[in-house]
């Protein structure tokens, strides 16, 4: 190695001698890794559990509180339940895809996998979730006329308004998630650009 | 103790200094962050043990995990409210307690730190005397592309140092 790196090489080797010894034992690190894996699983399960509980709650509501009979209401129920079920399936698929990223692969391949994953996430948080939210909202408002058989007018107005509020909060969280994913994607594209600014690549 | 745990202990003992040193260089001399990053690298190593196919040496394999963990840190710090690396090094230079024995090598870390993340990692592998084939295998680019990149990095380093 000639030129400028010769000067750095000496400093690099000297610095290497000063490099720290382990402050954590291998056993503790394994425990930390296991704990981290458990936390990741719990976080994913927690997110999905919220959707599952909502789904179960809605089903119970339609069975015990407001057993709607009209065809239009059945369409509304199908839109709401179907939308939620689709969202749960997508969430499971997303978890599966995230676990498939192998950090011991080449940096180029890992970056590509992350790009593909976050492009997929952006799509989920974007068009897919917005589509599901619209279907869910249409489904909910289709039910309102028959709700008149089970609730007072004031209760129905409150239900409609509280749904609007919940939808607004959910919409905002989608916007934030998309913004985060776009940031990540831009960062990944920058890295990809830095890696590929030469000639031919191997996969 | 499982076979994986035995292997992990061996890899941890053998490669921790190498990983830690790369992390210090990547973190521009910030040893506290580098230690966290080195531990994160070994957590990822433990999680990836079953993926080791034996097509490369353990050294190259761990270098891959180190590089990916470092790049992941940068990505996460850009999206979460973590202190960006550049700001970290500014804070560091104002706080001498963080520098301890890293002081003597600050010139080296500052010089390397002027490069972008990919170039920084590549040049550290060159300094660590990895063969070009191994470095290309860590990054996932062709050897000819790597040679072009290293030439550019050297040129860029020379210009940066001249301007100081």
Check if the beta carbon of residue B100 is closer than 8 Å to that of residue B34.
Answer: no
Selection from B46, B54, B56, B67 nearest residue B128 by Cα: B67
Number of domains present in the structure of chain A: 1
Across the strands, what pairs with A60? none
Tell me, what DSSP letter sits at residue A63? I
Q: What pLDDT, on the 0 to 100 scale, is given for residue A23?
A: 78
Q: Complex ipTM, two decimals?
A: 0.84
Its domain, for residue A92, covers: 29-194
Coil, helix or strand for B38? helix
Contact check, Cβ <8 Å, A19/B20: yes
> Rounded to 10 degrees, what is the CA torsion of A196, A199, A200, A201?
-30
Which among B35, B110, B23 has a CA at the least distance from the CA of B74?
B23
Residues 6+ apart with CB under 8 A from A12: B25, B108, B124, B127, B128
Q: How far apart are CA A166 and CA A144, in angstroms?
A: 17
Q: Name which of A8, A23, A184 is nearest B111 (Cβ-Cβ).
A: A8
Q: How far is B58 from chain A (nearest CA, A)?
A: 10
Q: What is the pLDDT of residue A6?
A: 81
How many CB pairs (< 8 A) connect A and B?
A: 170
Candidates A4, A102, A195; nearest CB to B157: A4
- Measure the CA–CA gap between B154 and B146, rounded to whole angstroms: 12
Residue A202 covered by a domain: no
Phi/psi at B141 (nearest 5 deg)?
A: -120, 165
Q: Averaged over A3-11, what is the pLDDT?
A: 80
């531990």: which residue's tokens? B39
**A29·B43 Cβ contact <8 A:** yes
- Distance (Å, whole) CA A147 – CA A3: 81
Paired tokens of B106: 């600050």
Q: Which residue of B has its CA nearest to A199?
A: B145
pLDDT bin (cut points 50, 70, 90) of residue A29 is confident
Q: What is the mean pLDDT of residues B145-164?
A: 86
Report CB contact under 8 Å: A8, B112: yes
Residues of A in Cβ contact (< 8 Å) with B148: 198-199
Digit-coded pLDDT (tens) for A108-117:
999 999 999 9
Q: Is A8 on the interface with B (CB under 8 A)?
A: yes
Contacts of A40 in chain B (CB under 8 A): none
Q: Which of A3, A13, A39, A107 to mutate to probe the B interface, most B CBs <10 Å?
A: A107
Cβ <8 Å between A21 and B140:
no
Quick one: tokens of B119? Answer: 């170039």
User: How many Cα neighbours within 13 Å face the side chain of A164?
Assistant: 6
Q: Which domain holds residue B15?
A: 3-162
State the Cα–Cα distance between residues A179 and A171, nearest whole angstrom: 12
Q: How many domains does chain B have?
A: 1
Task: Give the tens place of pLDDT for each residue, B95-114.
Answer: 444 444 445 678 788 888 99
Angle (CA) B74-B79-B84 rounded to 5° is: 50
Residue A187: helix, strand or coil by DSSP?
Answer: helix
| A122 in Cβ contact with A115 (< 8 Å) | no
Instruction: Give chain A's radius of gyration (CA, Å).
Output: 26
Q: How confident is the model at residue B81 (pLDDT cuts 50, 70, 90)?
A: low
Asked whether residue A130 is domain-assigned, the answer is: yes
Min Cα–Cα distance to chain B from A6, Å: 9
Token pair recorded at residue B154: 């050297």
Q: Which two tokens stand for residue A156?
A: 């129905």
Q: With beta carbons less than 8 A apart as the criterion, state whether A72 and A91 touch.
A: no
Model pLDDT for residues A110-163, shown as the tens digit of each residue: 999 999 999 998 888 888 989 999 999 999 999 999 998 889 999 999 999 999
Cα gap A172→B2, rounded to integer Å:
47
Residue A65 has pLDDT above 50, yes or no: yes
Closest Cβ opposite residue B78 in set A27, A187, A201: A187
- Partner B contacted by A154 (CB < 8 A): no
Distance, in Å, from the CA atom of B143 to the CA atom of B132, rounded to the nearest integer, reads: 6
B148/B162 Cα distance (integer angstroms): 21
- Whether B140 sits inside 8 A of A108 (CB atoms) is yes
A17 touches B at CB < 8 Å: no
* Cβ contact, residue pair B71, A32, below 8 Å: no
């Amino acid at each position: 190695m000639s030129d400028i790196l010769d000067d750095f090489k000496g400093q690099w080797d000297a610095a290497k001698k000063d490099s720290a010894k382990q402050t954590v034992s291998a056993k503790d690190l394994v425990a930390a890794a296991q704990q981290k894996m458990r936390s990741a699983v719990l976080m994913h399960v927690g997110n999905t559990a919220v959707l599952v509980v909502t789904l179960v709650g809605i089903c119970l509501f339609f069975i015990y509180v407001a057993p709607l009979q009209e065809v239009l209401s059945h369409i509304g129920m199908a839109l709401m339940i179907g939308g939620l079920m689709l969202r749960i399936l997508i969430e499971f698929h997303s978890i599966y895809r995230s676990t498939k990223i192998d950090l011991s692969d080449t940096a180029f391949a890992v970056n590509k996998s992350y790009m593909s994953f976050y492009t997929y996430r952006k799509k989920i948080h974007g068009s897919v979730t917005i589509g599901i939210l619209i279907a869910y909202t249409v489904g909910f408002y289709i039910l309102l006329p028959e709700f008149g058989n089970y609730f007072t007018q004031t209760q129905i107005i409150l239900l409609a308004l509280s749904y609007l509020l919940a939808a607004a909060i959910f919409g905002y969280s989608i916007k934030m998630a998309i913004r985060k994913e776009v940031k990540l994607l831009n960062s990944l594209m920058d890295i990809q650009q830095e890696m590929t600014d030469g000639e031919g690549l191997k996969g | 103790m499982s076979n994986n745990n035995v292997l992990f202990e061996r890899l941890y003992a053998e490669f921790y200094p190498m990983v830690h040193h790369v992390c210090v260089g990547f973190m521009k001399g910030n040893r506290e962050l580098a230690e966290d990053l080195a531990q994160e690298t070994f957590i990822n190593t433990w999680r990836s043990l079953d993926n080791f196919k034996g097509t490369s040496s353990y050294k190259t394999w761990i270098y891959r995990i180190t590089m990916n963990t470092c790049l992941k840190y940068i990505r996460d710090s850009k999206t979460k409210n973590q202190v960006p690396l550049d700001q970290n090094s500014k804070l560091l230079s104002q706080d001498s307690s963080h520098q301890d024995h890293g002081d003597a090598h600050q010139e080296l870390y500052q010089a390397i730190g002027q490069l972008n993340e990919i170039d920084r990692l590549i040049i550290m592998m060159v300094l660590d005397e990895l063969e070009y084939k191994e470095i290309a295998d860590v990054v996932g680019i062709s050897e000819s592309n790597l040679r072009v990149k290293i030439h550019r990095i050297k040129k860029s380093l020379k210009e940066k140092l001249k301007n100081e």
